[in-house]
Each structure stands twice: as C-alpha cells, then as structure tokens.
Structure 1
Amino acid sequence: MLQQLLHVLEPESLGDDRYLGQNMHPKGFRIYGGQVLAQAVSAAQQTVADDRAIHSQHAYFLRQGNCSKPVHYEVERARDGGSFSSRRVVALQDEKPILVSSMSFQLPDDSFDYQPEMPADLIPPEELPSERQRALENDALNEDFMITDGEDLDVRMGVPINWREPQQIPGRLYNWMKTTGPVSDDPAVHRTLLTYFSDTMLLDAGLIQHGRSYRDRGLQVASLDHAIWYHADCRADEWLLHTADLERNSGGRTLVRGRFYTREGHHVATVMQQGLMRQK
C-alpha cells in the first residue's frame, strides 16, 4: 500500500507541463483532498530546479473529485526569479477545474530562526492505538476510503473520537502520523507526503466543538480552501505531531489552524484550512 501511495503521489508527465494523476482509492465516494494537493505540489516541483524547495501552497477546492477518473494537472510557470519560483496549478476532471493552487519555491536561506514550543504533556505515539486498529476493533473500516486507517499510514489520535456518537469537546485535537515503512531520502518526496497528511483532522476540530459529525446527513461539510507554509525539511517516515486548533466557526464556515512538529519538537509546517460547515 505504501508503494502504491508513493506511485500515486508522482503524477505522470504528459509533456508541455501537463501531468496525469491516478487515484489512491478508485472506489471511494470522492477523491481525498490531500491527494490532489500533494499531486499538484509534485507536478509543480517537476518544473522547478531541484535546489528550490516549496515554502507555501494556497489552494481552493472547487468541485468534488470523481475517484473513478484520473486527474489532469496543468502547470503555469508564472515566474522564476533570483531566489523564488512561482507556479500556478489547475487540477481538472472532464475539462473542469476541481482545484486551483498557487505555490512558491525558494532557494535555501538561514537568515533568522524562531519557532513556538511544541505542546507539552501529550501522549506519545507508542501509548496510543492506531486508527486502523481502532477501526478494525469497532467494525468501522471503509476499504474504499482508507485515509487515516489504511495500511500505508500509521495515524494515532491523541483525542480519539467515535464519529458515530460524537461527544462535544473543545476544538483542539492532535495526532501522530508517519508512513508505515521507510521512504527514500529525497526531501521533495517527504514534502509531498506532508502535503498529503495535511488535509486530515482539520474540519474535525470545527465539528467536535459542537458535538457534530461529518456523518450527519443534516450537515454540509467540505473543504473550501487550504494553505500550507513549509518551514523546514522533515521525514514523513518518522513520527510527526499534527495539531489542529479551531480558530472560528461563523457564516456556515469553520477555520482551523494546524501545525506539524517532529518528535524532537522542530516546527516544520503550518496549515490553515477553511471548510463549509452548515445546516442543509
């Protein structure tokens, strides 16, 4: 499963800065947003010099993706400057955009360094069950849409939630994440995997604040836009702490901030996601 994921996250070049991406779960009810975000990053990276690493991605989800069809990516080389390269990527199905994304890549620079401390008093991953283990024990494994409970990732929730009967708790969640096996040393591969990780758990923080579930048929829940700032390299095959903190629920939308830390406390990425969360 992990090798399949790595293959999926490297879309095939069709020439002229066009790429074709396959789906990790072709029988799912929709394409997982993190897959499209990660494939867009991978496609754009292929048009940028190897010494320029992505430092930010800003994306809008426009349409629900169809798992039974591949995704086409068109990359626009907006600008290559002395230190930065900008790219625009459109993901399409049936010639209609399902995601638009702007990205910026940068040469290495170590001018300044500061970061907030990693949250303390968290349960370490070794003391938590994996989401796959929990799903199997609770007869809740969806073989066609396995994002956090598949065989490719090891995800361990610090605040486990029963989404069939959610209880109201503050919108502050965290999990530990890594791949289930080793990955190559290419930093670009690990940044792509972090992008894939980044779409998990965020809307959950907005929902659980009100004791509501994404399974609730009376709600409309969907990702609207997603931004990532990459601060430093990391390894996706070693434990990463992912925190999700609810910023605001208003206007039928939820806004959540995520942060990624290494096991040693190095803050490697920040995520913001706004999602649709409203009564039907």
Structure 2
Amino acid sequence: MLQQLVDILTLESLGEDRFRGRNMHPQGFRVYGGQVLAQALSAAQQTVDPARVIHSQHAYFLRPGDCAEPVVYEVERARDGGSFSSRRVVALQKGRPILVCSLSFQTDDGGFDFQEPIPEVVPPEALPSERQRAIDSGTLDENFMITTGEDLDVRMVRPIDWENPQQAEGELLNWMKTNGPVGINPALHACLLTYMSDTMVLDAGLIQHGRSWMQMELQVASLDHAIWFHAPCRTDQWLLHTANLERNSGGRTLVRGRFHTRDGLHVATVMQQGLMRKR
C-alpha cells in the first residue's frame, strides 16, 4: 500500500545521527535496492538545513539486504559549506554494511538552463499497468512487488513478457507515479523519486540479449547507483522514465536513466552499473 511506502521512508531516530528503517516487502527474497537508497536519503535529509535540497547521490551496493531485518543508517556530517552540504551514509544489517553512499545538498541557485526534449511516446492512459498485466497473466508475486504492487503505478510503453523475453533494443520507457496523492513535501518526493530510480534499469541491459532477471542461470544484481536531481517534481503525477543501455562488458551492464515530467521537464538523471553474467 502507498501509505506503507510513505511510512517506511519515515525513519526512527536512534540518536547521534543514527536511524532505523523497516522493509517494504518483509517476505521478499532480498531488500529492494531503491528502498535502501531512498531511506539513506531520508536519513541524510534529517541532518541538513531544509533550505538545502538534494542534488546528487552516489552509492555502492555491498551485500544483499535481508528482508527479515531492519536497516540501520549511520550519517556522517562530512561538510557544511557556504552553499553545499555533504553527507556520507552507511546502511547496516547485523552490524555489516549493505550500502555506502555520498550525498550532496545545495541551496537554491539560478544559472544556465538546457535540456534535451522529452521523447514522444504513448500516454499512460493508453497503457496497462504492470500490476494489471501480472494479474492477467497469473504471475503476480505478492512477496516482491516493486513494479506490480499497490503503491506504484508503472506502465511500460513497450510491455515485455519477462518469462519469455525476446531480444530488443536496450531501451525501456516507463510511465511511473504513486498510486495516490502524497502531499507537497519536496523532501518526501525526492525520496520517492529515489525509490523509483532503481526500477527497470538493469532490465535494459538484459533485454538487449533477450534475457530476463527471472532466468535463474543468470546472476543479476546492482553494483553502484548514481542519481542527479535537476529540478523538484511531484512523484504522485506521471513521470516518464527512459532507461538506455550504455555498455555491456566484463560481466557488467551500465544503463542511463532519465526522468521527465509529463509536460517535458527533465528532473533527474540516473546511472546504474550492475552484475550481469552466467552463474
């Protein structure tokens, strides 16, 4: 449920810049990376002047997360400068790090402005949601619902049968938003965008070869993730996410993602590298 997602992004303070977060899918086979990224941002935000907003996050995934265990976040206040604040966050389970990341916050500033136009695609109203497609096909997994849950509405411009994938160009286009309103708090919307940013990324590298993460002979996992925030947005309104394959090599895939608002504003850019190899 959407309220559950909002709740897991509201961390429990443990004092001394330490926080604890619960898991969105406690029966899943591993913690969704986007959840840990978003909770790390939520933890860091609580140590920064609210006038300074996130502009970049760079993370490394170190270990799979255990869905049965809460995640503890330790924040280091690396620097507070004249207009930038830098934070380092370690996410831990059972005392061992599962993710480390650096985040940078900035006061509002003007300057040069340029962006490439939004791709021309079918509007979301003309597309089925991933949840509806999973229900119709009988493949809905109630324990690991990232794109098929009741919290997010995800609609693929060119839907893929992940159980029987066909080789296609390494580009995925998806409309995304929350399944209901979540208020106007920009810090929450930044966390929700971060949560979404780990969705349908590595799949662009897989589909280039007609493969799927569901194929057990493959080892697929996120290695590192970076997101740059260009402008504030509402995640309870439609965002177009484009994921483009940059390179597959060395048992790894590198994919670039972009988020646009429906009226064409480019609000965030993502780069993710993942493990993609035969076991």
Which of the five TM-score ranges fits, normalised by the shorter chain? over 0.9
Instruction: List aligned pairs for 1:10-21, cutoff 5 A.
Output: 10-21=10-21
Instruction: List aligned pairs for 1:242-257, cutoff 5 A.
Output: 242-257=241-256
Partner of 2:94: 94
Q: Distance between the aligned counterparts of 2:151 and 2:71, measured in 1?
A: 21
Q: Distance between the aligned counterparts of 2:152 and 2:164, measured in 1?
A: 25
Count the aligned residue pairs.
279
Q: Aligned partner of 1:53: which letter?
A: V
Partner of 2:29: 29
TM-score scaled by structure 1?
0.99
Gap runs ≥5 in structure 1: none
Partner of 1:105: 105
Gap runs ≥5 in structure 2: none
Q: Aligned partner of 1:208: which letter?
A: I
* Pairwise CA RMSD: 0.5
Deviations 1:71-102 (A, max 9, x none): 00000000000000000000000100000000
Shift, 1:22, TM fit: 0.1
Partner of 2:73: 73
Q: Distance between the aligned counterparts of 2:194 and 2:50, measured in 1?
A: 18
Deviations 1:109-158 (A, max 9, x none): 111111111112x0110000001100000001100100111111111011
Partner of 1:216: 215
Identity over aligned pairs, percent = 72
Shift, 1:10, TM fit: 1.6
Q: Aligned partner of 1:148: which letter?
A: T
Q: Aligned partner of 2:173: which letter?
A: Y
Moved over 3 A (4+): none
Deviations 1:18-54 (A, max 9, x none): 0000001100000000000000000000000000000
Q: Aligned partner of 2:149: which letter?
A: G
TM-score scaled by structure 2?
0.99
Q: Distance between the aligned counterparts of 2:152 and 2:211, measured in 1?
A: 26
Shift, 1:9, TM fit: 1.0
Q: Aligned partner of 1:157: which letter?
A: M
Q: Secondary structure at 2:195's aligned position in 1?
A: helix
